[in-house]
């Protein structure tokens, strides 16, 4: 069984030191967590281990089973038994599970695919990872967690002895996460060695044997997990004490029937996909100024579709009524929504949030160009002023206003998305997973920003899959399950994760 070692690895990118003399040792048969903020060097280290950065493009040595090895390509790493499973899966949705497992590695007999053999072998492999599915199922019909298991099965099929999992649970529901962690424990029992990278510290404590913390390209130290607490681990990652992850809660008086109408009142809201699948059914709720309304639920419960449809993203058929400040409002496009003072920070920032090749200032000004015109021409000076204000207000770290957003870290990209909306002072702010895939430090900053916006009077509706975030940030909570509103909490103080969880899972209702 393998041990993997990094010996004094140093890697530079155009003058920036990404890894600085990193040495660490992964023992055989352990689950070893790598922790660190974005930009700490985790990804670079993995790329060294997996042959993406060729031997010789870095200083130092990779040592497998006590002998230095030379990895010149991903293929070399695979042959050495090292497999990386990324957050974005390398699978083809339109092929079957079996076809995916054998992709690029097909079994043939005299040039003809031997389907039956591959299906049988797949069945065996799926059993190994505890996935109860027919290998002939189309991969795209599986949930995210099951797809992750297929990816692991694929690595095992190629005789991977050392699995490196990079944020494997980022897109999974809590139940899928639980299952994945169970499988990893079972693989460990059978002697597999696993390197585990996750921003979710609960998982690290749940599963890891030892933890190595990276900070600014250097190893802080490696500890057995029992020697760490959540707070000490965060402190090691951040390098300073984060006294609290969540800002102190504000309190808003309960809704006064004679008071002003709520910022947003949604009634009997239903959304159907173009092929008629119900995504959101008959949901009614209200959001008030000065509060954060948390929207909890599993991935696929219709939370994203709810937010997108409120923002006028009409790819789907929408029914129901919407009142803003008590007035019925028809929002037919994002442009309408913006005119009504609504802002949406969408879940997938690279797809929906930013133009990666555009400079920082242009990204921030995009929704505000109409206000920045002098006659027909965009006033560049005012545009840069607007961007500069956002950069300072949100503490966006970039080399300048002209830096392409692609060059920023995930946390700073998310701040750009937030900045583009906060500079419009929206009255209603819809946030979909505002801190997904962001390191702890930036997360706390974004939480503080959301808190500040609510205190300044905005109505915030926040979707999150992280229950601690929902509980830590919300004044009220609604829970969705399979498109329906299944419960709400007007009092969050004293609420436990399990209270929300059991509603989200509808434990008595099947799944």
Partner 1 sequence: MLRHHLRTYAMVVALVVIWVAFAAMTDGVFLSGRNLANLTRQASVTAILAVGMVLVIVSGNIDLSVGSLSGFLGACMAILHASWGVPATVALAMAVCLGAIIGALHGVLIAYQRVPAFIVTLGGLMVYRGGMLAVTQGETIPLPIGSWMRAIGSGSVPDAAWGLPVPLLCVAVVAGAFLFVSSLTRFGRHVYATGGNAEAAHLSGVNTRGVAFLVFVLMGALSGIAGSVLTARVGSASPEAGRLLELDAIAACVIGGTSLMGGRGGIPGALLGALVMESLNNGMSLANMGVFWQDMVRGGVLVLAVWFDIRVRQRGA
Q: Which residues bind partner 1 (CB under 8 A)?
A: 311, 313, 333-335, 338, 344, 346, 351-358, 362, 366-367, 369-370, 373, 376-378, 420
For partner 1, give the closer residue by CB, 159 or 315: 315
Minimum CB separation of residue 418 from partner 1 in Å reads: 13
Phi, psi of 168 (to 5 degrees): -70, -25
Contacts of residue 278, defined as CB under 8 A and 6 or more positions apart, other chains included, come to 270, 271, 272, 483
Q: Closer CB to partner 1, residue 80 or residue 429? A: 429
Helices (H), 294-351: 303-310, 334-339
CB of 73 to partner 1, least distance (A): 17
Judged by CB, which is closer to partner 1: 14, or 226? 14
Tell me the two tokens of residue 445.
Answer: 């900053």
State whether residue 356 is helix, strand or coil.
Answer: coil
Cα separation, 79 vs 162, in Å, equals 11
Of 14 and 67, which CB lies nearer to partner 1 in the complex structure? 14
In the complex, what is the shortest distance from the CB of residue 360 to partner 1, in angstroms, rounded to a whole number? 14
Distance CA 56, CA 388 (A): 41
- Least Å distance, CB 259 to partner 1, is 31
Closest CB to partner 1 among residues 92, 370: 370
**Distance of alpha carbon 416 from the chain centroid:** 17
Query: How long a stretch of residues is the chain?
Result: 511
Output the smallest distance, CB 441 to partner 1, in A. Answer: 25
Helix, strand and coil in the chain, % to nearest 5 = 35, 25, 40
467 within 8 A of 477, measured Cβ to Cβ: no
Nearer Cβ to partner 1 (172/401): 401
**Smallest distance from partner 1 to CB 442, Å:** 20
Cβ atoms of 283 and 334 within 8 Å: the answer is no
**Apex 498 CA angle, 493 and 500, nearest 5:** 65
Helices (H) and strands (E) in the chain, counts: 16, 24
Work out how close the CB of 314 gets to partner 1 at its nearest, in angstroms, rounded to a whole number: 10
Nearer to partner 1, 274 or 510 (CB): 274
SS3 343: strand
């Amino acid at each position: 069984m393998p041990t993997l070692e990094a010996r004094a690895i140093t890697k530079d990118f155009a003058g920036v030191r990404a890894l600085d003399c990193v040495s660490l040792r992964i023992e055989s048969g352990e689950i070893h967590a790598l922790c660190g903020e974005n930009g700490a060097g985790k990804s670079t280290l993995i790329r060294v281990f997996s042959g993406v950065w060729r031997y010789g493009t870095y200083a130092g040595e990779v040592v497998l089973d006590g002998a230095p090895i030379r990895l010149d390509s991903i293929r070399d790493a695979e042959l050495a038994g090292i497999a990386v499973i990324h957050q974005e899966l390398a699978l083809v949705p339109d092929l079957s599970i079996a076809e995916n497992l054998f992709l690029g590695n097909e079994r043939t007999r005299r040039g003809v695919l031997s389907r039956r053999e591959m299906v049988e072998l797949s069945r065996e492999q799926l059993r190994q990872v505890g996935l109860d599915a027919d290998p002939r199922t189309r991969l795209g019909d599986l949930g995210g967690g099951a797809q992750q298991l297929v990816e692991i099965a694929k690595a095992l099929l190629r005789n991977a002895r050392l699995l490196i999992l990079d944020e494997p649970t980022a897109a999974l529901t809590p139940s899928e996460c639980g299952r994945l962690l169970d499988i990893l424990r079972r693989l460990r029992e059978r002697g597999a060695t696993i390197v585990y990278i996750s921003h979710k510290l609960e998982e690290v404590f749940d599963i890891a044997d030892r933890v190595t913390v990276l900070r600014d390209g250097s190893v802080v130290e490696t500890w057995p997990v029992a020697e760490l607490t959540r707070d000490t681990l965060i402190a090691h990652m951040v390098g300073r004490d984060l006294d609290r992850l969540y800002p102190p809660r504000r309190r808003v008086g309960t809704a006064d029937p004679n008071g002003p109408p709520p910022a947003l009142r949604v009634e009997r809201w239903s959304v159907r996909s173009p092929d008629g699948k119900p995504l959101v059914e008959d949901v009614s709720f209200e959001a008030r100024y000065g509060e954060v309304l948390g929207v909890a639920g599993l991935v696929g419960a219709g939370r994203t579709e709810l937010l997108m449809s409120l923002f006028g993203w009409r790819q789907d058929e929408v029914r129901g009524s919407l009142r803003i400040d008590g007035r019925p409002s028809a929002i037919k496009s994002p442009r309408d929504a913006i005119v009504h003072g609504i802002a949406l920070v969408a879940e997938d920032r690279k797809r929906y949030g930013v133009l990666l090749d555009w400079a920082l200032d242009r990204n921030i000004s995009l929704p505000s160009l109409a206000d920045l015109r002098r006659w027909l021409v965009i006033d560049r000076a005012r545009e840069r002023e607007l961007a500069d204000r956002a950069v300072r207000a949100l503490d966006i770290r970039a080399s300048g206003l002209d830096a392409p957003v692609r060059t920023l870290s995930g946390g700073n990209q998310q701040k750009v998305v937030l900045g583009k909306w906060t500079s419009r002072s929206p009255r209603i702010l819809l946030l979909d997973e505002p801190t997904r895939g962001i390191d702890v430090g930036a997360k706390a900053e974004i939480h503080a920003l959301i808190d500040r916006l609510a205190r300044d009077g905005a109505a915030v509706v926040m979707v999150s899959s992280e229950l601690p975030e929902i509980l830590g940030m919300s004044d009220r909570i609604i829970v969705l399950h399979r498109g329906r509103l299944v419960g709400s909490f007007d009092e969050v103080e004293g609420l436990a994760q399990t209270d929300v969880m059991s509603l989200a899972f509808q434990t008595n209702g099947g799944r």
